[in-house]
Structure 1
């Protein structure tokens, strides 16, 4: 984990700004909760449980809160979904969420819920198990297969995005994590996924490229090969996802 005062300062500032909304709990999940956080690269994935309904005024206040944080160096990486005790258990509920520097509504996925129960970091208030029911293995597996089949497999056929780092990185990493979850029922970190990918037949030069950007070493070469890298990633992921979906559907 690489983390400096900038991360802690942003988290402290966020919790201070949040006090007026009377949070029941604030949790971190993803890389920060799972001890694979890379400052400046990893997202700060948060959940805030508010004591009360999400009204139009709440939405305005949440937007103002995030606007006040805009001068913090890492603020573009901060994402937060806002739950209430009355909506937290609903897998389909679309919660108010700040992500990619805007407000939207989306569910808290079974993967996130399992992360909160297994590696979630309590920043304040109640623990996740006191407010979130556990996710069953069946619910987790069904979501993972659906995500690979309905989102990632479709995106593999859209070549235009795959010159971008984020698509190559998340496409391969998410596939490896999905396979382990379906085989063993475990959630693994991005670092573990990268360690596994060569053994799963992924193109080793693409895996090395992802690793060099996520875990850079001094003097690591930068290669300008985005088009070829995207083609290699897509050529691998298409058949790999098809096999995964066939095996677990």
Structure 2
């Protein structure tokens, strides 16, 4: 029997709190914005921890996540960044992160921080608004530009990813959301971004395909259609990035 998102959060919170010395568990992403789609959306969490994880505690955290996935299928989409409270002021410091069934390190970006502050809530401990330093409008705009430059521009040189549904959907959502932030200093959901894809000349049939996947439907794509789609999306993203990153 599948669990509700709230039940998944409660069970994970109870398990991770003693293992990683978590003082606050923050919830962002679609769960915070009301855009969550069961079976489709990720759980985007930030665990504020008393001190950096030792090697032993990192092993315990990894074991916890793997065992949680084995117990609860919903946990496969649970992502968590472990941020020591003493490092909250530095947006560049990489932190232990669990995502895509592996443990690695990455920073808690300005975009993630801004989303937490505007929409996020806590399962326990301080709220994101209390715990995180504020992100100014200028800092948010620069964080968005940095994400486009550092991740999506190099992604244009990786031809194989454009055949994947994940990158097709995410890249187009990113363009729409980035445009709103860079223009109006606002943050929008993927659902809202979907309604803005026409602005980037995304074909209607592709918008409908993305909408169906957001609703949890399986959308078959033939090999030939996948090739055509990859070429189309790569072209649209390349053009969109040039516009958004224009000086």
- Could you tell me the TM-score, scaled by structure 1's length? 0.91
Q: Does 1:239 align with 2:239?
A: yes
Q: How many residues align?
A: 242
Unaligned 5+ segments in structure 2 are none
Assess if the C-alpha contact under 8 Å between 1:81 and 1:95 holds in 2: yes
The corresponding residue for 1:162 is: 162
* Equivalences for residues 174-213 of structure 1 within 5 A: 174-213=174-213
Question: How far apart, CA to CA, are the structure 2 residues paired with 1:157 and 1:207?
Answer: 24
Q: Deviations over 1:49-96 (max 9, x none)?
A: 112332223212212221321221112101100112101221011111
The corresponding residue for 1:27 is: 26
Question: How far apart, CA to CA, are the structure 1 residues paired with 2:78 and 2:231?
Answer: 31
The corresponding residue for 1:40 is: 39
The corresponding residue for 1:144 is: 144
1:155: Cα distance to partner?
Answer: 1.6
The corresponding residue for 1:132 is: 132
User: Structure 1 residues 148, 52: CA separation in 2 closer, same or farther (over 3 Å shift)?
Assistant: closer
Assess if the C-alpha contact under 8 Å between 1:89 and 1:131 holds in 2: no
The corresponding residue for 1:82 is: 82
Assess if the C-alpha contact under 8 Å between 1:6 and 1:73 holds in 2: no
Unaligned 5+ segments in structure 1 are none
Question: How far apart, CA to CA, are the structure 2 residues paired with 1:67 and 1:154?
Answer: 31
User: Structure 1 residues 189, 57: CA separation in 2 closer, same or farther (over 3 Å shift)?
Assistant: same
Q: Which runs of 4+ in 1 moved over 6 A?
A: none
Question: How far apart, CA to CA, are the structure 2 residues paired with 1:208 and 1:97?
Answer: 33
The corresponding residue for 1:15 is: 13
1:6: Cα distance to partner?
Answer: 4.1
Question: How far apart, CA to CA, are the structure 1 residues paired with 2:157 and 2:214?
Answer: 25
